Structure formats: structure tokens, C-alpha cells
Amino acid sequence: MAASPSVVPVALTAPGVPILSASGDFSNLREIKKQLLLIAGLTRERGLLHSSKWSAELAFSLPALPLVELQPPPPMTEEDAQDMDAYTLAKAYFDVKEYDRAAHFLHGCNSKKAYFLYMYSRYLSGEKKKDDETVDSLGPLEKGQVKNEALRELRVELSKKHQARELDGFGLYLYGVVLRKLDLVKEAIDVFVEATHVLPLHWGAWLELCNLITDKEMLKFLSLPDTWMKEFFLAHIYTELQLIEEALQKYQNLIDVGFSKSSYIVSQIAVAYHNIRDIDKALSIFNELRKQDPYRIENMDTFSNLLYVRSMKSELSYLAHNLCEIDKYRVETCCVIGKNHYSFSFKIYLYCK
């Protein structure tokens, strides 16, 4: 590979909209860490908390930066300044899940950040109402008919912005999410690919793309940016497509270049070994991960599968109680509790029989 700078300085695609781009190599981990910290902040400001958490965790796995190397926040534009009061108020409402209220105070704002939060608030409001209505529905047939009523309107508005080339990377991501929710898969894939080109460090766009690619042939035809983030994407999607040998090689490469302390990579490797039924290896990695990150819930449902298969009932029971203490209503926790309950009930059944 020809030598090239690993990270291109932050540029602007539109007033106040950073484009964070990196080449495909990992030769400058300090610059990569700077960009991870920056994107963690940008996603957090827009309420994209899972993407922010992923970037922050990855940044944490790299060596700390001295004060002189820490990057200042992106410069504020005139539009940002004009919208600051409305954005600050709306973000406070957004954070306590008052999405309609947040959208009301953001209506008419012109800055990219405020516009994204306005549209995202409307999207999440529709999702929340859909979930509430689903809970109130009587049967499975009725539940399946409940829709997010905001989607079509959001699609029309975002489509106009897209055609006018007025969407930044975050706007493209949201447009892709809306298209996916409307089952417009091909259009959604095209928009997510565009989003990875415009804002390659936003993990959310890559992850959405992963969920839409169903086989290796589809993957081959994607025109993806030449960025080191693509290596994380490929490792993740290889795992999803059960191409475990390729996935493990990618993750080993990422460890070798400096991400050996990443709990995300370690957990993905454990999942990969689980998928190829190397139970002892997966159990060993999960146990080590639990020591390093004892309050982690992600992938603990997979860990519980391994404990169940090995009939490690006391360990499974301990895991269920531990996760219940951390967050009893998380999906992973409910899966582990259910598996533990089934194991215990089956044991009683055999005893009584």
C-alpha cells in the first residue's frame, strides 16, 4: 500500500457541518482517537446515543491524548448562534423524551444541527406513539398493523432536501432510516452508502447498512469509501453473514494495529466463536470480558446461550440476577432471565417426573 496520511483534516461540506474522513490505514492512531472523540461529541449533540457510545468506547481503548493535542469543538456558524437558544431548550426536552415539545421549539430553525434534531424528534415521536399503541392493541394481527404515522411526511420532506443536496451526513442517515422503516430497502441502501461517504466516522450509518445486506454478493456491489471504518464494518457484517473465518481475521487485524483493549472487538470475537460452536473459546473470552467490564449488558444473551448449552446452571443463575440488578428491563436481561427460568423449571419437571 502506498504511503498516505491516515487522517484528512476536518473539512466542511456546508456551513458548520464537519465531514470526518480517514484513509484506509491505521498508521496514526492519535489522529484516529481525535476524530473518534469528535464524532462522539457530534452524535451526542444530535441524540444519537448508541453511535456516541460506540465511538467513545473505541476512543477509550486507545492511549490518552495530552492536553495540547485535544481538538476544540467545531466552529459555530451564524445559523448555529441564531438557533442556540431553541436548540438548547429543545435538546433538554429531547433528553427527557418530550419529542413533540422538542420539535415544536425547533420548527423554523435553519442550522444543520437544529434541523436534524427537529426531524429526529418527529421520527422518535412517531416511534413512541407506535409503541404505545402496540401495547394497547388487543391481538397479534392488530399489533402488526400499527405504523409510525410520521414516516411518510418525513420521507417527503427529507426527499426534497436530498434532491437539493442539502442533507449532511446525519440528515442522510435519518433519511435512510425512514426509507428502511417504509420497506424501501434499495433506496435505503443507496442513501446509507452515501451517508458513509459524507460522514464515514458515524457508526450508525454503517450499522444500518449491515442490517440490510443479506449476502456476500450484495456486499460486493457496494461502493464504500476507502476509510479505516470500513474494516470495522466488514468485520461486523462478516460475523452477521456467518463468514466467521473472515470476521476473525479482520478482528485480529484490528487488535494488531492497536485496538486490543476494545471491549467491542473482544465481545464480537466471542460472538464469532459462539457462532461456530467453539463453546470453550467463547466462554473463556466472555468470562474475561466480564472481568474487564462487569456492568456490560450487550451480548450477555449470547453468553447465557453458552452457559445453558454447557449446563452451567449456577453461573447462568448468577448472570441472570446480576443483569437484573443492572437493568432488569433490557432485552438482553429478559432473554437471560427467561433462559434461566426455563432451565430451572425443566430441572424441577425432571425431578417431579
> Which pLDDT tens digit goes with each residue over 153-196?
999 999 999 999 999 999 999 999 999 999 999 999 999 999 99
Q: Percentage of the chain surpassing pLDDT 90?
A: 80
- pLDDT for 343 equals 59
Task: Output the nine-digit C-alpha cell for 210.
Answer: 449491515
| C-alpha cell recorded at residue 266 | 473482544
Which whole number is the average pLDDT over 2-26?
Answer: 47
The Cα–Cα gap between 46 and 28 comes to 28
For residue 141, the model assigns a pLDDT of: 54
Strands (E), the chain: 11-14, 17-19
Dihedral-angle region of residue 112 (phi above 0 means left; psi in -120 to 50 means alpha; beta otherwise): alpha
Give CB contacts under 8 A, 24+ apart, made by 117-122: 117/46, 117/47, 117/87, 117/90, 117/91, 118/90, 119/154, 119/157, 119/158, 119/171, 119/174, 120/46, 120/47, 120/174, 121/47, 121/90, 121/94, 122/150, 122/153, 122/154
Tell me what the mean pLDDT of segment 298-327 comes to.
94
**What does R_g of the chain's alpha carbons equal in angstroms?**
22
Considering only the C-alpha atoms of the chain, give the largest distance between any 2 of them, rounded to a whole number of Å: 75
Q: Predicted confidence band at 338 (pLDDT cuts at 50, 70, 90)? A: confident
Which of these ranges, 15-24, 37-46, 249-258, has the smallest mean pLDDT? 15-24
Q: State the CATH class of domain 262-344.
A: mainly alpha
pLDDT band at 17 (very low <50, low <70, confident <90, very high): very low
Write down the mean pLDDT value for the chain. 89
More confident residue, 73 or 332: 332
Residue 168 grid coordinates: 449532511
- Domain-by-domain residue ranges, the chain? 262-344
d(CA 239, CA 88): 40
pLDDT beyond 90 at 24: no
**Quick check: 216 pLDDT over 80?**
yes
The lowest-confidence range among 72-76, 311-315, 340-344 is 340-344
